[in-house]
Amino acid sequence: MRRLMMAAAMLATTALTAHADDVKEVEMLHWWTSGGEAAALNVLKQDLAQQGYAWKDVPVAGGGGDAAMTALKAMVAAGNPPTASQMLGYTVLDYAEAGKMGDLTETAVAEGWDKAVPAALQKFAVYDGKWVAAPVNVHSVNWLWINKAVMDKIGGTEPKNFDEFVALLDKAKAAGVTPLALGGQNWQEATMFDSIVLSTGGPEFYKKAMNDLDEDALKSDTMKKSFDNLAKLKDYVDPNFSGRDWNLATAMVINGDALVQVMGDWAKGEFVAAKKVPGTDFLCYRFPGTDGSVIYNSDMFGMFDVPDDRKAAQVALAKATLSKSFQSAFNVVKGSVPARTDVPDTDFDACGKKGIADLKAANDGGTLFGSLAQGYGAPPAVANAYKDVVSKFVHGQITSSDQAVEELVKAIDDAK
Amino acid sequence: MTSIATSNGGAAARTARRPTMRARLQQALPKLVLAPSFAITLVFVYGFILWTIYLSFTNSKAFPKYVLTDARAYQRLWRWTFESDPPSSWYTSITNMAIFGVLYVVFALAIGLLLAILLDQKIRGEGILRPIYLYPMALSFIVTGVAWKWFLDPGLGLEQTMHQWGWTSFHFDWIKNKDYVIYTVVIAGVWQASGFVMAMFLAGLRGIDGEIIKASQIDGASPLQLYRRIIIPLLRPVFLSALIVLAHMAIKSYDLVVALTSGGPGGSAWLPSNFMYEYTFKRNEMAVGSASAVIMLATISAIIVPYLYSELREKAR
């Protein structure tokens, strides 16, 4: 009740402070408030400033963007949408379905987006044949981030399959290092489980289970095996993991307190910020058994249906966002890879180069899959039901893989 | 008005009218002043309550939809109420509410009363001690939550410190444990509220007629008997007020859970308010969120309405 009232109050204040007279202005809602992210966004600001557009920030702090999405909902419901907003996957489609998004098709055709942007991303940027969002980057989720010093100490080599991975973790355990750095928040656990499912069942199975939500696949023995593998990995996590933030888990790997973290490539941003160099300080491998496939999520700038006098600014923003120079400059800092496949990888480090090559290969080979944990596999209701089950399994409310599969089918069915 | 006055002509009539005008204005003034806030309350509290109830019977997902469908949201909540193995999020939320609500109220009352009685012994330094106990109430739940989160975290706070001091067998990881995490919320909540309850009881104790106490002392009552038989029964109205304040604080608490546990391992620290926020704004299941909000409102009414009823009846007597 209180929350609703707060939302109502927010709605009232945004309505009062809104004045959209200035056409030479871009209003942008986002949750990129950390140092590196803000610096990356500056590239875009300067680009637009050169074209004479002022930049009006609506930053809403909070890593996962939940707070930002609440603020956005209030702004849009009040009929006062920003020019654009950082958005994820199905959220864009939700807004498009509700008729709140603008139409950038003209610009997209002129700029050749449909050829440059991977088809998997277009699924979320294009609704009903119209371009409604400008993808900013592609993150991929199925990565291992390894501390090289620890790896050398225990004499480990790159694990090629799940069993070798477990053997590697055993070595670290024997050497007295925390083998696996994990944050016990449901999205982190589910992000790791995305990779496990892909590794256990292969690309076909991942697509069926996690993107198509095929009930037979969800019920299958492969899914049970995936949960068993998750249980195996859980044994290598330190007892204090519950509730830990992802960047603290990354810090454990950076500092050499832990060997490896399974995390999306935004973890690389943390390594870079700590002045670590790929190859000498840390190693990046694909999650064992998932080489050749990429589980992605992507930040997009959703473009709202703004009044006509603001459309020029919106087009300028969209063009700048998908320009090769911005795509390169931004993603070097963010740790992700460009959202178009024709950006040269010259400025990227070794992990970034691998990421770009992998994305291209996966896009061509049809093995580019949306991450269910990150909201690119299914709408929020389903994605959260999935995260619930995985998290309850990790923390012991669900005690067997049989039960986990049963709960998963039920939860997804319920949320659909 | 003036035309009436002139048509009546006489000055006597005018003087007779003027006070009634002023009186009328004076009578209307409170209503005029209150009208805006009354209107705002009517819309933003009661209007939105009705709106929420309406939404809970629709099929609203990310945005409100206004076509009435069915009571599916309530059916789901009803089903979830009995799913205990593995516990559904709603089951966890309401059982946590029961655990948290009862322990929070009981411990805050008990500790508050004890502190008030001890402070009431005419001790020196009461002026300093009283604000020390009262000040946790001045902190927001977010601050309380973060401070206790650091204190209870086995890798940072109490356990780590004990290990550094050499007591390596010391073990306290409730905040990381799905079965005990809700009790850490109780600890932090009680810490925050008991000083405030103490202040209420202290005021109550100071309000008790000294004659009664003296008389019972002359009759030979021991201090224990004095408190048990006379003073605490006299504090009954304070108990009632403290109970109401604490109960509604327990039901609406949300920020403490978020700041202290960020939901707890596997969502095991959720309260109904967390459930409502999650489903409405993060999971785009506005109908389910609204239904849970309606159920929370019904719970609060179940406490407040009898209280208001008894209060009003007493006044009428």
For residue B237, the domain's CATH number is 1.10.3720.10
Structure tokens at B210: 């000294």
- Residue B206 domain-assigned (yes or no): yes
- Paired strand residues for B87: B84
Kindly list the residues from chain B whose CB atom is less than 8 angstroms away from the CB atom of residue A241. Answer: 176
Beta carbon pairs, A and B, within 8 Å? 113
pLDDT at B314: 73
Print the domain residue range for B171. 86-284
Per-residue pLDDT tens digits for B41-53 = 999 999 999 999 9
CA distance A83 to A309: 11
Residue A137 in 3-state DSSP? strand
Element (H, E) at A24: none
- Residue B243 domain-assigned (yes or no): yes
- Residue B111 domain-assigned (yes or no): yes
Among chain A, residues having any CB pair with chain B shorter than 8 Å are 1-5, 7-9, 66, 69-70, 73, 77, 91, 94-95, 98, 184-186, 239-243, 379-381, 384, 388, 391-392, 394-399, 403, 407, 414-415
Question: Considering only CA atoms, which of A328, A357, A402 is closest in space to residue A137?
Answer: A328
Q: In total, how many domains does chain B have?
A: 1
pTM of the full structure: 0.84
Q: CB-CB: which of A4, A8, A77 is closest to B63?
A: A77
Confidence band for A18, pLDDT divided at 50, 70 and 90: very low
Contact yes or no for A395 and B265 at CB 8 A: yes
Q: CB-CB: which of A9, A240, A403 is closest to B176?
A: A240
- Residue B216 domain-assigned (yes or no): yes
Local structure of residue A237 (DSSP, 8 states): B
Residue A58 in 3-state DSSP? strand
A30-34, A180-184, B39-43: least confident range: A30-34
Confidence band for A19, pLDDT divided at 50, 70 and 90: very low
Among chain B, residues having any CB pair with chain A shorter than 8 Å are 44-45, 48-49, 52, 61-63, 76, 86-87, 89, 153-155, 173, 175-178, 252, 254, 261-268, 273, 276-278, 280-285, 293, 296-297
Structure tokens at A393: 């399994």
pLDDT at A6: 53
Contact yes or no for B281 and A3 at CB 8 A: yes
- Residue B53 domain-assigned (yes or no): no
Pairing mode, strands A25-30 and A54-59: parallel
ipTM of the shown complex: 0.81
Contact yes or no for A1 and B52 at CB 8 A: yes
- Residue B8 domain-assigned (yes or no): no
Contact yes or no for B86 and A5 at CB 8 A: no
Confidence band for A77, pLDDT divided at 50, 70 and 90: confident
Contact yes or no for A240 and B175 at CB 8 A: no
CA-to-CA separations, A370 to A160, A198, A203, A381, A391, in angstroms, rounded: 23, 11, 11, 16, 20
- Residue B23 domain-assigned (yes or no): no
Structure tokens at B69: 């469908």
Structure tokens at A243: 């509730």
Contact yes or no for A395 and B266 at CB 8 A: yes
Range among A82-91, A252-261, A333-342 with highest mean pLDDT value: A252-261
Per-residue pLDDT tens digits for A142-177 = 999 999 999 999 999 999 999 999 999 999 999 999
Place of tokens 């939320």: B93
CA distance B160 to B162: 6
Contact yes or no for A243 and B277 at CB 8 A: no
CA distance B72 to B88: 17
Confidence band for A185, pLDDT divided at 50, 70 and 90: confident
Q: B40-70 b/e with 16+ CB inside 10 Å = b?
A: eeeeeeeebbeebeebbbbebbbbeeeeeee
- Residue B227 domain-assigned (yes or no): yes
Those residues of chain B that have pLDDT short of 70 are: 1-19, 315-317
Confidence band for A62, pLDDT divided at 50, 70 and 90: low
